[in-house]
Structure 1
């Protein structure tokens, strides 16, 4: 429930943030982009230290405070009118969001227990369902296009953090897992195999922006497919994730099967991107069919990658250091989200069909390499621990 409420609030803000800052606060679009970019960059660095704090103090308490801080930062946007105050509020909110993600990892692990794989997949399905509901809610506000409507969305997001915190507060506390005597304070940064997996997963995570960023530009600028497919693509992707993520995660319950899932995902991304790229120059109905097939195949790859990625980040992290390991993994994913629009613009839009195929080939290479790095990681667990 906390995940659903949180994602509803965050979703409505993400959809309407640029309009809120330009139409209500009165900032130029350039300052909005700069402020959100700086805040996202600052937030990347909070995960590891706060994750370590969650490991030592208990994940529920740390995650609870991060939700409260996000709620306060979001509420502050309602009364800010200058760029610098907006920037401060955004940075605080992003720091708390990144830190909260690191603290949430050990909490999910503790609650999921023996059914952790299924529980994680269920949470992702819930998050995607919430995102769809948020998009609908934000759509009404954007249609009204009034100051009260945008203020309502921001306040709703602030309240969603408070409501999520109240739900988390009702959970039983999870005591920290004692660290071995020789455990290093920042051992994740010395775990070269896990750092390598984080880098590979970050590269693979660029795929999340293919359907959201590259495909709409491709449909409108390079194909004869109907423009309504831009919105339908996101809906089809979300529906498939909601319906199939739990099923796709079955059997992905250790590092070996996770590495194989990531390997399969690389192939699926290459095929899906190739089919979507092939829509260029085709008649309207063939372009439509090609893109729909590509979306379906790409989403299958997304399901496999998510199942493998989640298993690796939990299974390869020592039980006493789940928070800081989640923090590093979050850094890789966050960095990928920041560079993805530029990478996709250069490869898929500027270069065209060859760029789609080359980037798909990169995903194949990453997928093929991942199982070998996973074996390396299993042989070199810190402090000679078995995977958690």
Structure 2
């Protein structure tokens, strides 16, 4: 059996020991720049590669289908919408399979399916052939999130909270890099550039699958004899927490959907704020998510983080709303303040949401529980544009404040709902 060799240490002037300068990995681990274990690093690398491909696809999909394939915009919107709707319901059943068959193998298979589905898009030109490929890809993507949940739990180690936050920072860093790369390709506005982006997405799933193959197999956690096949659907407390998180998750579209329309249509703020909002938000998430998640390691602290996030969303949205009718300099200042405060709320919400979805789920059923939580956030993404268009754009300032107040109320009711979920959850002794 191999034993790991400790890096040489050098005495410091104070009498403590410091790591050898040659031990670059130890230095990176101590600074929190890379995870501690090999399995954690492998999954983080797979996440980074996966999110690069996904980020490229998100930016270029509509342009590829309209400018290269030649589909009408209405068909593209219909196809993407139908695929997203179909994918919503894959998480729970596939998550259950991952719980019973092992998350590594199921997640690996779903990555391969996504690679095949997105490759098919390169060779199809008919809407009726593209639609099933999109649906299969979206089904695999949604199901992949459910299978990945128990995989993250299995390799996360003793500080699972920190590792989950690290993965989110890695994902945001990859997504922002992908958006920049896609922007350069789109600038050329050529058929070859759009094709390259779609192919890059397909290749990213192949590479992610090859990386995941290096992970050890994780045996399923034995289920109690009385466990139900679809236990999560009977866990009313977890369903309630999922619904609360879904409402709060609408905030993810505020800076991406509502803010650009608000800046251009209702304020005198400069247009460059639209691009800066996404850049600033992503940078703060990459830099601060791990720090914001520190101490959010049980359901009580997660509930408090959710409660704080609701207040932050109200303050941030009120600042953004205040830009209406303000002079350029003041509108710019209050919008930047709003972006910063809203991002703080996002950091708190993410920390609380990640902890609740894991800590309230039994260890033997992490996959199907992650699937239900993913369904909640998926529904939020589908309905968010319509809600934000009505509240923030149509109603204007009152709508911004009203929606912010909704976030506050949701945050305030989270702690008692979570306590009820804890009291009523089945197999509490086996929770992760």
The reply to whether TM is greater than 0.5 is: yes
Partner of 1:77, secondary structure, is helix
Which of 81, 84, 99 is the equivalent residue of 1:55? 99
Are 1:182 and 1:383, in contact at CA under 8 Å, matched by a contact in 2?
Answer: no
Aligned match of 1:346: 390
Aligned match of 2:57: 13
Partner of 1:200, secondary structure, is helix
Alignment of 1:169-184 (within 5 A): 169-184=213-228
Alignment of 1:24-103 (within 5 A): 24-103=68-147
Once residues 251 and 87 of structure 1 are traced to their aligned partners in structure 2, the CA distance between those partners, rounded to angstroms, is 44
Partner of 1:78, secondary structure, is helix
The structure with the greater share of residues assigned to helix is 1
Once residues 56 and 398 of structure 2 are traced to their aligned partners in structure 1, the CA distance between those partners, rounded to angstroms, is 36
Which of 318, 324, 334 is the equivalent residue of 1:280? 324
* Runs of at least 5 residues in structure 1 that lack an aligned partner in the other structure: none
Once residues 67 and 382 of structure 1 are traced to their aligned partners in structure 2, the CA distance between those partners, rounded to angstroms, is 32
User: Is the aligned partner of 1:167 residue 2:211?
Assistant: yes
Q: How much does 1:316 deviate?
A: 0.3
Aligned match of 1:123: 167
Once residues 368 and 386 of structure 1 are traced to their aligned partners in structure 2, the CA distance between those partners, rounded to angstroms, is 28
Deviations 1:115-160 (A, max 9, x none): 1000000000000000110011110111011111000000000000
User: Is the aligned partner of 1:363 residue 2:412?
Assistant: no
Once residues 381 and 226 of structure 1 are traced to their aligned partners in structure 2, the CA distance between those partners, rounded to angstroms, is 50
Are 1:50 and 1:323, in contact at CA under 8 Å, matched by a contact in 2?
Answer: yes
Once residues 113 and 56 of structure 1 are traced to their aligned partners in structure 2, the CA distance between those partners, rounded to angstroms, is 21
Are 2:362 and 2:428, in contact at CA under 8 Å, matched by a contact in 1?
Answer: no
* Runs of at least 5 residues in structure 2 that lack an aligned partner in the other structure: 1-44
Deviations 1:226-282 (A, max 9, x none): 001100000000000000000000000000000000000000000000000000000
Aligned match of 2:420: 376
Aligned match of 1:239: 283
Partner of 2:156, secondary structure, is helix
Q: How much does 1:384 deviate?
A: 4.2
Aligned match of 2:21: none
Aligned match of 1:331: 375
Deviations 1:84-121 (A, max 9, x none): 11110000000000000000000000010211000000
Q: How much does 1:386 deviate?
A: 4.7
Deviations 1:334-377 (A, max 9, x none): 00000000000000000000000000011001000111111011
User: Is the aligned partner of 1:211 residue 2:262?
Assistant: no
Are 2:363 and 2:430, in contact at CA under 8 Å, matched by a contact in 1?
Answer: no
Alignment of 1:132-147 (within 5 A): 132-147=176-191
Runs of 4+ in structure 1 off by over 6 angstroms are: none
Which of 308, 328, 340 is the equivalent residue of 1:264? 308
Once residues 276 and 383 of structure 1 are traced to their aligned partners in structure 2, the CA distance between those partners, rounded to angstroms, is 45
Aligned match of 2:240: 196
Once residues 176 and 372 of structure 1 are traced to their aligned partners in structure 2, the CA distance between those partners, rounded to angstroms, is 32
Larger gyration radius, structure 1 or structure 2:
2
User: Is the aligned partner of 1:225 residue 2:275?
Assistant: no
Are 1:378 and 1:387, in contact at CA under 8 Å, matched by a contact in 2?
Answer: no
Once residues 296 and 97 of structure 1 are traced to their aligned partners in structure 2, the CA distance between those partners, rounded to angstroms, is 31
Are 2:364 and 2:430, in contact at CA under 8 Å, matched by a contact in 1?
Answer: no
Q: How much does 1:380 deviate?
A: 1.2
Indicate the structure whose relative CO is greater, using CA pairs within 8 Å and at least 6 residues apart. Answer: 1
Aligned match of 2:197: 153
Partner of 1:181, secondary structure, is coil
TM-score of the superposed pair, with normalisation by structure 1: 0.99
Q: How much does 1:324 deviate?
A: 0.1
Equivalences, count? 388
